[in-house]
Structure 1
Amino acid sequence: MRLVVLGLSLSSSWGNGHATTFRALLKEFAARGHDILFLERDVPWYRDNRDIADPDYCELRFYSDLDDLRQWQGEIARADAVMVGSYVPEGVAVGRLVQETAQGVTAFYDIDTPVTLAKLRRGDYEYLSPEVIPGYDVYLSFTGGPTLRHIEEEYGSPAARALYCSVDPDAYPPLDVPKKWALSYLGTYSPDRQPALERLLIEPARALPNERLVVAGPQYPADIDWPKNVERIEHCPPADHPAFYAASRFTLNVTRADMIAAGWSPSVRLFEAAACGIPVISDKWQGIEELLTPGREIILADKSEDVIAALSHDASGLGQAARTRILAAHTASHRAAELEIHLQEAAKADVLALSA
């Protein structure tokens, strides 16, 4: 099929998890024989930090504003499916343009579902509004569980389906490198994640002054009191993620508050680290045990003492068990097959509706 995607970014992974998600998914979707056009809003912060210019699995093009986007209306109209992602600038207007123009299936791909729903409850329609949700044939959600029924019943989505994040195992292999850190964390600063980062990394760092820890990611405030044994890396590009994880004895997964409340919201970093065979310590949320078995494939922690206890053990076997589990069910190849099914089912539903 011909798929047009309007996403936050494919070209730059700076300060977002969308680019790596789209790259892995679309690479595998193209490998299934499909043709893809990715349309990205040209904004300075991504333009100045691009780490992909010309992907070989899709056509990447940029537009400057809504008027400029209209030059692509012919492509949108002819596509078999058009997918709009979360956090796309002026996403409500982009969604309306797509729904008015597209003759094929329309989908909303929410890489931030709990955050999106919290924004909708507050009346914050930055990139999605209740009025446009029913106009998408299928709502693809990073969150599974009861949230899917809520999207259908509360917001009138014709079909809400889970499409979790995933990992490209070719891009995230295990590496044999010297261990530099006892514990690492990779993630952009978020105010609602910071208390958990304080509890599960900064407090253990203070309690273990002889251990080395690291936090990689942009936008952390200058007034954070980092312990001397916590190294800071401002930006770790995706190409360096496997080496970053491999240099860690353990890595930390910290989840945003809205995603903890919703449950069933795994982060892409969780899958990436597990694919690299690195033991993961994670905060707790409902549904995580359906992805990785606590104590055998992942360590769950509530408080700093849990992390300190974990760091005293060799958990390399746990990392290998997690890698086996992720490669069996959560690769980008699995997600591309699921995306194909969801779009085909939405197309069939459209045909049935027209013939009714």
Structure 2
Amino acid sequence: MNITLFYHSILSDWNHGNAHFLRGVVRELEERGHRVAVYEPENGWSLQNLVEGYGEEKLEELQQYYPGIRTNFYNLDSLDLDAVLKEADLVLVHEWNEHELVKRIGAHRAQTGHYKLLFHDTHHRAVTAREAMANYDLTHYDGVLAFGQVIRDLYLQENWTRKAWTWHEAADTSVFYPHERKDYIGDLIWIGNWGDEERTAELHEFLINPVKELGLKARIYGVRYPDHARQALAEAGIEYGGWLPNYKAAEEFAKYKVTVHVPRRPYVEALPGIPTIRPFEAMACGIPLISSPWQDAEQLFTPGKDFLVARTGEEMIDQLKLILNTPFKAKEVAGHGLQTIRSRHTCAHRVNELEQVCEELGISSSKIFPTPKEQVLHER
């Protein structure tokens, strides 16, 4: 297939967790013989912050982990959809796009009709900012890919779309995999952004306070940490590492003994079954994971085996003690989580699901299942 993706950015993962998944999906699609073109806006917010804070050399470093990764920059005023979508078979438009772009692509689909068009939602705004999401004009879209069943169901209940599929995020195991462990440099690592005060109390209860109570050597990476957050980390003896390029996370996980997952409040309260991408990636790296409570309504994992659960701050302290003081238990939990990811939750699995959606939409099998480039070369 010729596949065109409109996303906020594929180059930058600065406060942009969807880039993690997108990169893995693009690579998997290309390895299967599909032609993929990614379009992102000029001067996108995430990319601007990345370059201003860390320099363009980070874009060169990205190529070491994703050789050949590329994008196309567009300006909404001059974007020529006739040219961009001339040969497209499938077009995916992410929810982190301008309403005008979403509407224009839908109108183009109505005029031409030669490709299938899907809207891709990977955020909680359908629940927490319903009016803003309702303003997206999906009239001429063939359906929605939603990263959880509760979001999928909402699109159908609100009549925002006629068709919707659940399409969870997953781990890009070409980058997220267990690295050789040599000497640990600390006990606990946490990678995540502070954000919009959506989980401040939870971060104190399940991360900062337990580290302080146990006197652990810990390091936290992420962006958008206000002064009061950095002060709390310092008082707990936690080293703040700032922004970490997503592709370096696996290397950092290998230096620590345990990590935790602290979901944002909207996911806990209104979005059961959606863990976000962080725990997928941590388990893919083979590090033991302990999570604060979230309801695994879609049975993606086996809580207690793939990861341990701490319902309170006191339980988090107990679970951290168990992992840090019992090597066989740490190995057992890490191994179980890793196996679950490899068997069910990789970008390859998600591309399989996307191909099934394409079949349902009526795209020809010869386009959905092309001969991979490697096979063509081998047969020659």
Give TM-score scaled by structure 2 length: 0.83
Equivalent residue, structure 2, for 1:20: 20
- 1:253 equivalent to 2:261? Answer yes
Three-state SS of the structure 2 residue aligned to 1:167 is coil
Q: Contact (CA 8 Å) 1:164, 1:266: kept in 2 or not? A: no
The separation in 1 between residues aligned to 2:51 and 2:240, in whole angstroms, is 24
Equivalent residue, structure 2, for 1:236: 244
The separation in 2 between residues aligned to 1:167 and 1:11, in whole angstroms, is 17
The separation in 1 between residues aligned to 2:299 and 2:68, in whole angstroms, is 32
The separation in 1 between residues aligned to 2:249 and 2:321, in whole angstroms, is 24
Query: Structure 1 residue 283: deviation in Å?
Result: 2.0
The correspondence for 1:202, drawn from 204, 208, 223, is 208
1:116-160 CA distances to partner (integer Å, 9 max, x unpaired)? 33212xx3x2xx43451343212111112x442221121331211
Equivalent residue, structure 1, for 2:72: 61
Write out the 4+ residue segments of structure 1 that deviate beyond 3 Å after TM superposition: 46-59, 128-131
Equivalent residue, structure 2, for 1:217: 222
Equivalent residue, structure 2, for 1:2: 2
* Superposition CA RMSD, Å: 2.1
Q: Contact (CA 8 Å) 1:42, 1:62: kept in 2 or not? A: yes
Q: Contact (CA 8 Å) 1:181, 1:249: kept in 2 or not? A: yes
Equivalence map 1:159-198=2 (5 Å)? 159-175=163-179, 176-190=181-195, 191-198=197-204
- Pair 1:289–1:143, CA change in 2 (3 A): closer
Equivalence map 1:99-178=2 (5 Å)? 99-102=106-109, 103=113, 104-112=115-123, 114-120=124-130, 123=131, 125=132, 128-130=133-135, 132-144=137-149, 146-175=150-179, 176-178=181-183
Query: Structure 1 residue 229: deviation in Å?
Result: 2.0
- Pair 1:31–1:130, CA change in 2 (3 A): same
Equivalent residue, structure 2, for 1:85: 94
Query: Structure 1 residue 228: deviation in Å?
Result: 4.1
Give TM-score scaled by structure 1 length: 0.88
- 1:335 equivalent to 2:379? Answer no
Aligned residues: 337
- Pair 1:179–1:289, CA change in 2 (3 A): farther
Q: Contact (CA 8 Å) 1:133, 1:157: kept in 2 or not? A: yes
- 1:97 equivalent to 2:112? Answer no
The separation in 1 between residues aligned to 2:152 and 2:314, in whole angstroms, is 35
Three-state SS of the structure 2 residue aligned to 1:177 is coil
- The letter of the residue matching 1:149 is D
Q: Which runs of no fewer than 5 residues in structure 2 stay unpaired?
A: 365-380
